[in-house]
Structure 1
Amino acid sequence: MKRRRFFSLRSLWQTISLIVVNSYFLAPWGKYIPVPVFNCYSCPLANFACPIGTLQHFIVLHKFPFFTLGVLFLAGILLGRFFCGWICPFGFIQDLLYKIPTKKLAIENKFATFIRWSIFIILVIIIPYITLEPWFCKLCPAGTLEAGIPQILLHPPLRSLIGFLFGIKILILIGFIISSIFISRPFCRFVCPLGTILSVFNKISFYHLEVKPTCPECSLCKPKCPINIEVYKDPNSPHCIRCHECFSCGQVKLKIR
């Protein structure tokens, strides 16, 4: 019963966050402010800037993104990846897709860190710096879902610009939609550059998880965890999105340091 109530609280919080981030009441000036969630700046209803899009903007200009990195540093040092589990709209969409009744696949995180950092370094930093194009944004499934498709539906003249790249974007989006039905948060676990940045702070953030000394190390926390973490071994794993699903066993608690 406790787990169901807590999950409902998180779902409610995610829903409110989705509405706040995409309610347009702060646009357009709010779009100058990057917030630590994955939500496309070009979404017709977006209130804020995507930090990864902003980061790439400055990389393309060959300028250092002081403000953007400052926002991410502050968010990370305070809460770690809490934003991933409770506020991020694209994470919430993946959670909803995973609720579709079907057989689920438990995927280990063995290569997740390497894959995420490789994507971040190559597609977010190096290639944009060389080509002067924000290539992660061009391929981002969140951007396709939240901005690309809505913009084409709302503005018919843009349809003449649809080409090969847009087809690739649609295929990537479809791939993540399908995989999210069977695998919990595949984008967050293996791709998300924002989660990659925030993951650095999980072990040092003020918002900290702690395993009680009474924990029997029964591994019941692992199937409860949407990221498939053995929480009793590493409660502040870089993969942890701070969803608190592991709290249901009664052996994990929040600690503000």
Structure 2
Amino acid sequence: MVVESIPPAVGSIYALLAFAALVWLWHSGRFTRRRAVPFLIISVLLGFLVFAPVFPYQLQGLVLRDAALLGAPLPMALIGTLAFIVLAFVFGRIICGQICPAGAVQEVMHLVPVKKYSSAESRVPVAVRAGIFVVFLAAGLGLGISVLGLLGLADFFNLTVASVSFFVFLGIVLLSAVVYRPFCRYICPYGTLLAPAASRGVYRLRRTDACINCRKCERACPTGAASPDHRLGECYLCGRCTDACPVEGALVYGRGR
């Protein structure tokens, strides 16, 4: 469904503008899950219209050293990839949360009112993703194989329904109705790079002295990142914890203790 008359650069420009807007919403205390919905919708639409900004596929292009796939010179694409990793270290995984179409389409699907299966307290997703990342690098660098291509990421957003891989990613999206972000948590190579940076983020959600230890934020978090002991960088800044918190100022996005 990609519209060739729309330049892919639109996706990059949107990513930068949306990132700035979301950082402002979080920093000003105005972020809510309802206010995140427009960003999710726009991100999903851009995924289908221009297939951008799909960050994991851009990383796939770098691994394959495929400038045509990237739509930009390799040095420029590398700088952009590294820049957003630095931004994740400073501001957290806002890119994964509401901007990347692959993550946004799963977030929207998870809103479907069906019974959810939670793996919030498990380290298994992180370990599985790390293993797949090794396969991703070996297949791309050593064999020139696009793992994300086999999983149907591009075929899904291009609506290439004649391809078997289209239905592979469609299955992942449908699974996200009951399992929170299976692609992001178990597969995404870009998430493997962002998570360590975000786990030590300068700006991130923190508890203050106003916290009453009701643990409502922990029960609301689908990844376990709201737990004080969680250091895996799996916070997608979805806003479930802050929406669930009953005490104003007990959970804030900021720097420092």
The percent identity for this pair of structures is 21
Which residue of 166, 179, 200 corresponds with 2:175?
179
Q: Separation in 2 of the partners of 1:200 and 1:217? A: 27
Match of 2:154?
143
Partner residue, 2:58: 54
> In 2, distance between residues paired with 1:93 and 1:50?
11
17 and 118 in structure 1: CA distance in 2 versus 1, 3 angstrom threshold: same
Q: Distance in 2 between matches of 1:93 and 1:57?
A: 21
User: For residue 88 of structure 1, what is the aligned residue in structure 2?
Assistant: 100
Q: Which letter maps to 2:174? A: I
For residues 195 and 94 of structure 1, what CA distance do their matches in structure 2 show?
14
3-state SS of paired residue (2:199) = coil
Q: Which amino acid aligns with 1:139?
A: L
How far, CA to CA, are the matches of 1:92 and 1:49 in structure 2?
Answer: 11
**Aligned-partner Cα distance in 2 for 1:209–1:90:** 23
The superposition leaves residues 128-168 of structure 1 with CA deviations (integer Å, 9 ceiling, x where unpaired) of 111123x223123432210252xx6xxxxxxxxx6xxx32x
Distance in structure 1 (CA, Å) of the matches to 2:101 and 2:40: 7
Q: In 2, are the aligned partners of 1:82 and 1:241 still within 8 Å (CA)? A: yes
Q: Is the 8 A contact 1:55 1:68 kept in 2?
A: no
Matched residues in 2 for 1:84 and 1:103: separation? 24
Residue 84 of structure 2: aligned partner = 72
The one-letter code matched in structure 2 to 1:122 is V
User: How far apart are residue 114 of structure 1 and its match?
Assistant: 0.9
Question: Residue 104 and residue 50 in structure 1: after superposition, are their counterparts in 2 closer, same or farther (change >3 A)?
Answer: closer
Measure how far apart 1:196 and its partner are: 1.6
Question: Alignment partner for residue 101 of structure 1, among 94, 101, 113?
Answer: 113
CA contact (8 A) 1:209 1:254 kept: yes
C-alpha deviation, 1:50, in angstroms = 3.8
CA RMSD of aligned residues (A): 2.8
Q: What displacement does 1:222 show?
A: 2.3
Q: TM-score, normalised to structure 1's length?
A: 0.71
Amino acid at match of 1:140: L
SS at structure 1 position matched to 2:252 = strand
| Rounded Cα–Cα distance in structure 2 between residues aligned with 1:229 and 1:13 | 22
Quote the residue 1:239 is aligned against: 234
Q: How many residues align?
A: 213
Q: What is the CA distance between 1:228 and its match in structure 2?
A: 3.8
Give the letter aligned to residue 253 of structure 2. Answer: L
Residue 206 of structure 1 corresponds to: 202
Which whole-Å deviations, capped at 9, do the CAs of 1:68-97 have from their partners, x for residues lacking one?
A: 442233322232211111222222211222
SS of corresponding position for 2:177: helix
Where in structure 2 are there 5+ consecutive unaligned residues? 1-30, 67-73
Deviations 1:163-200 (A, max 9, x none): xxx32x13422431331121122212211122221111
Could you tell me which amino acid in structure 2 is paired with residue 178 of structure 1? L
TM-score, scaled relative to structure 2:
0.71
Amino acid at match of 1:120: F
**Alpha-carbon distance in structure 2 between the residues aligned to 1:88 and 1:53:** 10
CA separation of 1:87/1:66 partners in 2, compared to 1, >3 Å: closer, same or farther?
closer
Counterparts of 1:48 and 1:93, CA distance in 2: 13
